[in-house]
Structure formats: structure tokens, C-alpha cells
Amino acid sequence: MKTFIFDLYNTLAEIHTDEHDVKSWTSIVRYFAERGAAADEKTLIELYDKGWDRHLSELARSSEYEYPEGDICEVYRYMAESVGIKLTAAELRECAVIARRASLRTFGLFDGIKELFAELRGYGAKLYLLSNAQSVFTVDELKEIGLYGEFDGMLLSSDHGCRKPDRAYFGILFDKYKLDKSDAVMVGDDPENDGKGARDFGIAFVLADGGAAAHRNELIALAERA
């Protein structure tokens, strides 16, 4: 196989976030206060959860996709308006980035990923990224761990309105980059989003629990196939 499609989080990069820790929201409490809104951390956690529920429920009614993806900035818009302020588009993006950084507990590239990529490319493989992710902060995170620019193509779900395991999301990737199903494998840590999505779309799947590099031998064996 020559087409390797990777998930990002906990496949290439180890990550753990905690959006329900009050410490994750102190910076947003301060951000809102500077703009005239009084709200505590617990209130913001409740609004964050409610905002996502409302946003995804609305999308479920209106979207053409089976698994629609939301835009986290719309959640922050709801949160801000719920405490009596209106934020610009730039401020909403800033909120998303600030809160994301505050919620991170673990984040970093798995050992051996760059080496794995080099080996796969040595066999003529093309590498793609298909991630359920919010581009407002994921692009910067890719740059931080040195993976931005390392792919032959990439899709982030917030840019396309759908997410794995939606077959449509896989279809967007394959149509955009003219990929061949018979020569492709999805590599990811999630049996539902990555595994079911790949099988429903009709491509091979490798469960990369513990990170893709931990499954080097299996992936290299696939790359060696004509």
C-alpha cells in the first residue's frame, strides 16, 4: 500500500485535555471580565457543555451529513452572549486558543513518528492527515510538534462540516487528492471513528493504540506491498 491516512490525536501526538477542570477556565473568566462580563469557572463549564449540545443539535437538524462537525467558535459565541457580551470573530478565535492551551495536560509527538514517516516515504508512500479537529488551534499544534507541512494532504473536520466516521468525510479526502481505495489504509487509535469509518468507506484499517510508531512493523509491511 502506498497511501497512508493518519489520525492525529493519540495516533501521532499524545494528548490529554480536561475541559471540566475549573483551572482550565480561569483565563477565560478573566478574558470575559475584561470585556465587562462577570462569570465564574463553573458557570463557564456549564455553558461550554450546553453550547456544544445546542450547536450539534442544530447541526443534526440542518446538516446534510450523518456525522456533522461543529465550529468551536460558535460555542464561544453562545457562551459570551449568555453572560451578556458580544465578541468579534477574532476574539472568539482567541478565546478558543486560550482555553485550549489552558486545558492541555499532556501534549507532544510520540517517539518515532518522524522516523516512521521517513521509512514509509522511502517505500514511495504518500502520507495524509484526516483528523476530527478544530483548525483554529490544531494548525498551530501541528506546527508546535513539527508535523505541519509533513503531509501530502490534510483535512481538519471543522473546515468541512463533517467528521469521522462519516463516509462523506473520507470521500472529501479521496476526491480532493484523487486517491485510490484499493491502495489506502487508515491508521488511527479509535475503533469507532477511525476503524468503523474506514471499513464503511471501504478501505483497510490499522488500530494504532499506543501511537502509530508502536505499530511500525505492521505499517512497513503494508508499505512494502506492490
Residue 27: predicted pLDDT: 97
CA 156 to chain centre: 6
Answer CATH for 3-16+107-224 from 3.40.50.1000, 3.30.56.10, 3.30.70.141, 3.40.630.30: 3.40.50.1000
Residue 226: predicted pLDDT: 55
CA 158 to chain centre: 8
Tell me how far apart the alpha carbons of residues 18 and 44 are, in angstroms, rounded to a whole number: 14
Beta-bridged to residue 63, according to DSSP, are none
pTM, full prediction = 0.95
Residue 1: predicted pLDDT: 80
Q: Report the chain (226 residues): mean pLDDT per 10 consecutive residues.
A: 96 98 98 96 98 96 96 98 97 98 98 98 97 98 97 98 98 98 97 97 97 97 87
Beta strands (DSSP E) in 26-172 are 104-109, 126-131, 153-156
Residue 92: predicted pLDDT: 98
Query: What is the dihedral sign for C-alpha 97, 149, 163, 214?
Result: negative
Residue 135: predicted pLDDT: 97
Tell me how far apart the alpha carbons of residues 16 and 36 are, in angstroms, rounded to a whole number: 32
Tell me how far apart the alpha carbons of residues 92 and 73 are, in angstroms, rounded to a whole number: 5
DSSP 8-state symbol, 57: H
Residue ranges per structural domain of the chain: 3-16+107-224, 17-105
